[in-house]
């Protein structure tokens, strides 16, 4: 029998607690790689529309990085213009080497994102990770950041992420995970669950590769058993069904895609038997 989670299919978003604090986060977040790297007024208007709808539909966590071009500034513009500061959970990353360079980069990210305190600051792709974690701990004590984490988007980094997850230095780990990229299920996700570290999933659609695999194929009828009405919801619900996962951050500047993704965070989730069936289906394509 399938488990029922937070709400009915048209109810509130599934939420998960951050283990280090007990604060709840909606399972659907919003990424900004490529999609929010905008400079024109028209493109900024699209970012504003997506972020406005994201907040209206119950989303909170918005993730960025200095690596993503103008994305931090686009987010900051939307936060300011739509008065979203109190409704969002703002996360970004430090992506440089050296203590002073890292601190200066983080201060610039604050200016771009129009905030005086980050909800989450992460070391991007483990660049100079031990150095940055030292001053991030200081920033946390000074209330400049609420949570600290690390990120990577490759299976090759999972062993390093696992070591940090078990070190008791982190509130969050961000990693690649999808129905097509399941390597994290072996050790990393269980380690995060056992260590009380929240998990943000990047690449839940395997950089859109999953949609190429199912192009022109109808969603199976049995997807309705866990309230999936689209392939995007099918893929997201596979991710959300893992007990270690706190939030996934698909990136989009398309309002229809956003609404579809948000619906993936509502209703029932597949149990383990159903998840195996989902994997078998994808493997057969």
What's the confidence (pLDDT) of residue 58?
96
118-123 and 145-151 beta bridge pairing: parallel
Residue-by-residue pLDDT tens, the chain, 285 positions: 333 333 344 678 999 999 999 999 999 999 999 999 999 999 999 999 999 999 999 999 999 999 999 999 999 999 999 999 999 999 999 999 999 999 999 999 999 999 999 999 999 999 999 999 999 999 999 999 999 999 999 999 999 999 999 998 999 999 999 999 999 999 999 999 999 999 999 999 998 789 999 999 999 999 999 999 999 999 999 999 999 999 999 999 999 999 999 999 999 999 999 999 999 999 998
| Sheet hosting strand 198-202, strand order edge to edge | 61-63, 89-94, 118-123, 145-151, 172-176, 198-202, 247-248
β strands within 102-171, DSSP E: 118-123, 145-151
Is the Cβ–Cβ distance between 199 and 240 less than 8 Å? Answer: no
What's the confidence (pLDDT) of residue 5?
37
Taking the C-alpha atoms of residue 263 and residue 242, their distance in angstroms, rounded to an integer, is 18
What's the confidence (pLDDT) of residue 136?
97
Does an H or E element contain 247, and which? strand 247-248
β strands within 61-171, DSSP E: 61-63, 89-94, 118-123, 145-151
Task: Tell me the pTM.
Answer: 0.94
Taking the C-alpha atoms of residue 36 and residue 110, their distance in angstroms, rounded to an integer, is 17
Taking the C-alpha atoms of residue 228 and residue 233, their distance in angstroms, rounded to an integer, is 5
DSSP 157-225: GHHHHHHHHTTT--SEEEEE--SS--GGGTTHHHHHHHHT-EEEEE-TTTTTHHHHHHTT-PPPGGGGG
Q: Which CATH architecture has domain 15-284?
A: Alpha-Beta Barrel (3.20)
Between the alpha carbon of residue 252 and those of residues 36, 138, 203, 216, the distances in Å are 8, 34, 12, 21
Q: List all residues 6 or more positions away from 135 whose beta carbon is below 8 Å from its beta carbon.
A: 99, 102, 103
Q: List all residues 6 or more positions away from 179 whose beta carbon is below 8 Å from its beta carbon.
A: 210, 235, 238, 239, 278, 279, 282
The DSSP output letter for 24 is E
In the chain, how long is the greatest CA-to-CA distance? 55
Is the Cβ–Cβ distance between 47 and 75 less than 8 Å? Answer: yes
Taking the C-alpha atoms of residue 28 and residue 31, their distance in angstroms, rounded to an integer, is 10
Q: State whether the Cα torsion 248-237-187-212 is positive or negative.
A: negative
Taking the C-alpha atoms of residue 88 and residue 24, their distance in angstroms, rounded to an integer, is 12
What's the confidence (pLDDT) of residue 11?
75
């Amino acid at each position: 029998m399938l488990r029922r989670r937070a709400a009915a299919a048209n109810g509130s978003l599934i939420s998960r607690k951050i283990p280090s604090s007990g604060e709840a986060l909606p399972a659907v977040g919003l990424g900004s790689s490529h999609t929010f790297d905008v400079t024109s007024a028209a493109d900024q208007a699209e970012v504003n529309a997506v972020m406005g709808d994201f907040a209206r539909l119950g989303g909170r966590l918005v993730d960025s990085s200095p690596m993503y071009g103008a994305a931090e500034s686009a987010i900051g513009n939307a936060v300011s213009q739509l008065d979203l500061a109190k409704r969002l959970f703002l996360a970004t990353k430090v992506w440089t080497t050296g203590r002073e360079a890292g601190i200066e980069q983080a201060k610039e990210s604050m200016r771009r994102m129009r905030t005086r305190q980050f909800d989450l600051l992460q070391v991007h792709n483990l660049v100079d990770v031990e150095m940055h974690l030292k001053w991030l701990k200081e920033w946390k004590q000074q209330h400049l950041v609420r949570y600290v984490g690390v990120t990577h988007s490759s299976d090759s980094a999972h062993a390093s992420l696992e070591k940090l997850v078990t070190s008791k230095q982190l509130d969050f780990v961000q990693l690649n995970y999808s129905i097509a990229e399941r390597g994290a299920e072996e050790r990393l996700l269980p380690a995060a669950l056992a260590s009380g570290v929240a998990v943000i999933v990047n690449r839940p659609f395997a950089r859109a590769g999953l949609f190429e695999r199912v192009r022109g194929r109808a969603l199976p009828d049995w997807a309705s058993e866990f309230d999936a009405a689209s392939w995007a919801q099918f893929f997201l619900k596979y991710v959300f069904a893992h007990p270690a996962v706190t939030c996934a951050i698909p990136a989009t500047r398309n309002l229809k895609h956003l609404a579809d993704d948000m619906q993936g965070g509502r209703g029932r989730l597949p149990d383990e038997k159903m998840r195996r069936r989902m994997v078998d289906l994808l493997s057969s394509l």
